[in-house]
Structure 1
Amino acid sequence: MKKILLGSTALIAAVSLSMPASAAEKIRLGLGGKLEQYFGVVSQDDAPGFDPTTTGINTDTEVYFSGATTLDNGLTIGAMIQLEAQTNSDVTANADEQYAYIEGAFGRIIAGQKDGVLTQLAHEAPQYGLADDDVSAFFNPANLLTNYRRGVDTTLGGQDNASVSYISPSMAGFSFGATFMPNVNGALQANSETQLHNQWEVALAYNGEFSGFAIGADVAYIEASGANAADAEDPWGWRAGLILGYAGFQVGGSVLQLEDAAGNAGEDSLTWNAGIGYKTGPYGVSVVYLESDFDDPVTGDNSEYRQVSLHGSYAMGPGVTLAAAAFWAEGEQNYGAAAAGSDSVDGVGGIVGLQLSF
């Protein structure tokens, strides 16, 4: 018996020694993030009972924790946690995104709170320094009806609900992605058929270069199941983007069409932008036109938003960028059956900002 035990112990030891030790290391999170501070001055129309603020300060600050490890089988496993680091009325959660991913020759699988592939694979008009939504935040047409809407983004950036996404590896410049988001109106697993649910996104993107010309393009489709209620619809939409680049110049734009948004029949919106930009060394400049149109099925009203902006950026050093923008914007409300006529507000403004990345 003792010989058997000794023999078994020797066999186990031999097998253990013959197995290669894992070269993978435990994931160690690194620290990063961004800090953006903007100061703007705006002159826009007044209205009875409404006196718009002429100056303002906006901030966007986040702290990132990220890390990854490569296993012996070649798979890369990673994590990203983005924490909001400012306090204002627009921030309702302390986390912006948090997700894990698995990456290999098959592509990448992402699970957690993150935008879907419609956003991840999107191309938009060149915007150096400040993005369109950074600019529009300083224009406030609040004297119009409360249902006034202005679409300033041709993606769905900022959803950050719990989802699972797959993005294929690039093949001849093409990549494909798909996202499933069970709960459209919240981040976690609660999924009620009394609200929008089971949202799907699919997208196809291309990135390539020919004889010095860079091409970036994408098309995407999105749909969700409407609430289990009378008159509820299944919302759907599509987007497309195209960017062409040559010798420091970029020209292009994008469009997002949403039908029966939020499951309401006739609640449609169309947002598009187009622009041209040039970047050389630390300097970048771009001009962008943005337009958005929204139909309210309840009141029959139609609202429009238009914005023309001149963007500029200067990279002062690693992780330090000075940004500025000048803009004109107009919001217009066209009344439906409940009232006649229309109201409009327009204004001009200038913004300067400091963007730090670390």
Structure 2
Amino acid sequence: MKKLLVASTALVAFAAVSTAQAADPIKLSIGGYMQQYVGYSDNEDDNGAANYSEVGTYSVAEVYFRGSTKLDNGLTVGVNIDTFKSGGTALDAASDDTFLSVSSDSLGSVKVGSTKGVSFGLSTFHSDAGIGMTGSFSVDEFAQDVSGLGWGTALSTTDGHKVVYLTPNLGGVQAGVSYGLVNESNVGSANLQTAGNDIQYQAGIAYRGDLGGVAVSADYNYEMIEDGGLTGVGVASTATDGTATDSVDTISNPESHRVGLAVTVAGFKVAAGYRKTDNVGTVSDKDSDAWEAGVKYATGPYAVSLGYTKVEQDDDGTAAAQEDTSELWVASGSYNLGAGVTMIGSVINFDEDDASDNAANQTDEGSNWAVVAGLKVSF
């Protein structure tokens, strides 16, 4: 029923487009950004088990083409083509938000293409003034085990072919749903039944408004990932739950609930969020909890912030599961130099604890820290 509803919404929107002519063809504008960082880090694990490079660099870049036109029937048709680079990936190797949209003030908007789920735009997060709430420049061995969940409280944010619908904004309240591939494992393929495809369902609702000079943002978002898509390495969800993979764990589809709240007044923004995920990695009863909180103050060209994230995750799906923990602190500052150029600095501390590792020389625990400086350039 969900799939039929989403498909019907998209068909209605595109049928309306076919009955009208655009006053002007779409003309694309070009834009983007580049971020380059240099940092020093102390990444030695407990008891000197491993020592990683102390000076490193990191970069993020994106070039995008965007355009839209308004048809005679009032619908606006837009295109969004992004190319993204992060770390060591090639600039042309990653498609990031490449989709077509149809929208109107009374009907809302439909996006079809390679993009993120609807929760990405409906979620409220802490706004870091520097490099962001990431583990960059600090070794995060345990974090690799939870990397599919992402840092902090965000739901899945990978780009895959999806249909996304957003309602009109009514008094600051907006809701949406999305359906499609979790990530782009088959770029250019219309066959959703290719092995390995996981299907993502997301739904959310958010409020953004001004209450007597106080800006308030709040959200609730839900996600379910269907293991193996339609016929992939797993099987359809109705046959997946309870299928034994070994003597202990069974397969179940991951489900997440996420809430967030932010209040901004007199240059201060205070934000907090929480995410609960069940059946992490499709392992039944393997759960994860994540919290984030932060404060940011901005005045003129200056901004400073302090943010905190904690992730707790069961190491298996049994009743005797132990809880692994990762914690991240990021203190940042920035100065806007003008002309789209911003100078930033961040101090990062990352702690990890593997509850099941009691060896004298633990290689997957430690307290790591880093100091980072860089430039953000938008164009």
Is the TM-score greater than 0.5?
Answer: yes
| Equivalent position of 1:305 in the other structure | 326
CA distance in 2, matches of 1:42, 1:201: 37
Pick closer, same or farther for the CA change 1:267–1:50 going to 2, 3 Å.
same
| Equivalent position of 2:230 in the other structure | none
Q: What amino acid maps onto 1:110 in structure 2?
A: K
Q: What amino acid maps onto 1:261 in structure 2?
A: V
Q: 1:126 deviation in Å?
A: 2.6
Moved more, 187-196 or 197-206: 187-196
| CA deviation map 1:117-149 (0-9, x unaligned) | 11111101231232102xx1111044x697476
Secondary structure at 2:119's aligned position in 1?
Answer: helix
Pick closer, same or farther for the CA change 1:22–1:90 going to 2, 3 Å.
closer
Query: Root-mean-square deviation (CA), in Å?
Result: 2.7
| Equivalent position of 2:16 in the other structure | none
CA distance in 2, matches of 1:246, 1:262: 40
Give yes or no for contact 2:220–2:259 (8 Å, CA) kept in 1: yes
| Equivalent position of 1:10 in the other structure | none
Give yes or no for contact 1:151–1:271 (8 Å, CA) kept in 2: no
Instruction: Map 1:206-217 to 2 at 5 A.
Output: 206-217=207-218
- Aligned residues with identical type, % of pairs: 27
| Equivalent position of 1:262 in the other structure | 281
Q: 1:73 deviation in Å?
A: 1.2
Secondary structure at 2:138's aligned position in 1?
Answer: coil
CA distance in 2, matches of 1:281, 1:65: 30
Give yes or no for contact 2:36–2:58 (8 Å, CA) kept in 1: yes
| Equivalent position of 1:100 in the other structure | 100
| Equivalent position of 1:355 in the other structure | 376
| CA deviation map 1:5-34 (0-9, x unaligned) | xxxxxxxxxxxxxxxx96621111111111
Q: 1:321 deviation in Å?
A: 0.8
Secondary structure at 1:132's aligned position in 2?
Answer: coil
Pick closer, same or farther for the CA change 1:157–1:232 going to 2, 3 Å.
closer
| Equivalent position of 1:219 in the other structure | 220
Give unpaired runs (5+ residues) of structure 1.
1-20
| Equivalent position of 1:316 in the other structure | 337
Instruction: Map 1:195-214 to 2 at 5 A.
Output: 197-214=198-215
CA distance in 2, matches of 1:340, 1:196: 38
Structure 1 stretches of 4+ moved >6 Å: 339-342
Q: 1:266 deviation in Å?
A: 2.8
Q: 1:99 deviation in Å?
A: 0.7
Find 1:285's aligned residue among 297, 304, 308.
304
Pick closer, same or farther for the CA change 1:91–1:49 going to 2, 3 Å.
farther
| Equivalent position of 1:329 in the other structure | 350
Give yes or no for contact 1:223–1:235 (8 Å, CA) kept in 2: yes
Instruction: Map 1:216-255 to 2 at 5 A.
Output: 216-226=217-227, 227-228=234-235, 229=240, 230=243, 231-255=250-274
Give unpaired runs (5+ residues) of structure 2.
1-19, 228-233, 244-249
| Equivalent position of 2:79 in the other structure | 79
TM-score of the pair, normalised by structure 2: 0.80
TM-score of the pair, normalised by structure 1: 0.84
Give yes or no for contact 1:196–1:224 (8 Å, CA) kept in 2: no
